[in-house]
Amino acid sequence: MERDAALEAVFQPVRPPTTFEETVERLGTAIRLGLLVPSSRLPSERELAEQLGISRSTLRQALRTLVQSGHLVSLRGRSGGTFVAEEPPLAEREEEPLGEAGWAVLDYRVAIETGATFLAAERGGAAELDRLDELVEKMAGAEDFEDYRRADIRFHIGVAEAARSSRLVSAMTEVQGQMSDLIARIAHPEEVLTRSNDQHRRLVGLLRRGDTTRAVKLIRRHIEGTEHILAGLLPGRPESAEPAARRS
């Protein structure tokens, strides 16, 4: 594959801890910008994992997400491999970018989720946290994404309930409804849902211990994963609205 400076940046090592999400964002953005042209073949799985500095299992999850979203095509056989789709979906969806309103929802979510988590770590009682554990188990046993998402919504609202703030519960309900429209735009591989629910499980443990600092950091990483995937697969985030950490 022919390389230039911009394309070289696509294959620089990915930074932990959001290696999966950043890989989806990196490759999805490269496809959207035309750095990875339609029908071009990606490096082999082994080579690409080494270039990105990630495990092959993480790479497979990212590639599977991009295949499910229609950005990549995986072919088997002697001449097989992973190829950029001939007509990536974004080429047909430029009239419906995520836009400022969509990214504003993501910013609003950061404020609500981190605030609710902080207070839940301070105020959450055993009954409220037990309910969160029950929802984690519901997500673990969900038969399809719709069942998973219903329990996921209740989990995040449950965090606001554990914060014991009726206004936060209302705000969390609102933002979860708005997020559903955005989440519907992206693929939901089983591996990604499992990882997300592992974070739910760890969050409940931190809330039980009253560890506000680690709980807030974890929920920020949790919701940042969705931001990375949306940034890679859907155009439209104003440059001025990008987080300072991403611009630096």
The model's pLDDT over 126-152, given as tens digits with 9 standing for 90+, comes to 999 999 999 999 999 999 998 999 999
In single-letter form, the type of residue at position 241 comes to A
pLDDT for the residue numbered 24: 85
Quote the CA–CA distance of 244 and 227 in Å, as a whole number: 14
Q: Name which of 118, 34, 107, 117 is nearest 71 in CA terms.
A: 34
User: Which class is domain 5-92?
Assistant: mainly alpha
**H/E element, 115:** helix 99-123
DSSP code of residue 81: E
pLDDT, tens digit, for every residue of 46-81? 999 999 999 998 899 889 888 888 889 998 877 788
The contacts of residue 153 (CB under 8 Å, 6+ apart) are: 176, 180
* Position 113 pLDDT exceeds 90: yes
What pLDDT, on the 0 to 100 scale, is given for residue 36?
A: 85
Please answer whether residues 169 and 161 qualify as being in contact, where contact means their C-beta atoms are separated by less than 8 angstroms.
yes
Tokens 């789709």 -> residue: 85
pTM given for the model: 0.69
Q: In angstroms, how far is the first alpha carbon of the chain from the final one?
A: 29
Query: What pLDDT score does 185 carry?
Result: 75
CATH number of 99-247: 1.20.120.530
User: Could you give the CA distance from residue 50 to residue 13 in angstroms, rounded to a whole number?
Assistant: 8
One-letter amino acid of 145: F
* Most confidently predicted of 8-22, 44-58, 84-98: 44-58
39 phi/psi in degrees, rounded to 5: 75, -5
**pLDDT above 50 (res 244):** no
Q: Higher model confidence: residue 89 or residue 130? A: 130
Q: Where are the domains positioned within the chain? A: 5-92, 99-247
The reported pLDDT for the residue numbered 248 is 38
Q: Residue 234 above 70 pLDDT?
A: no
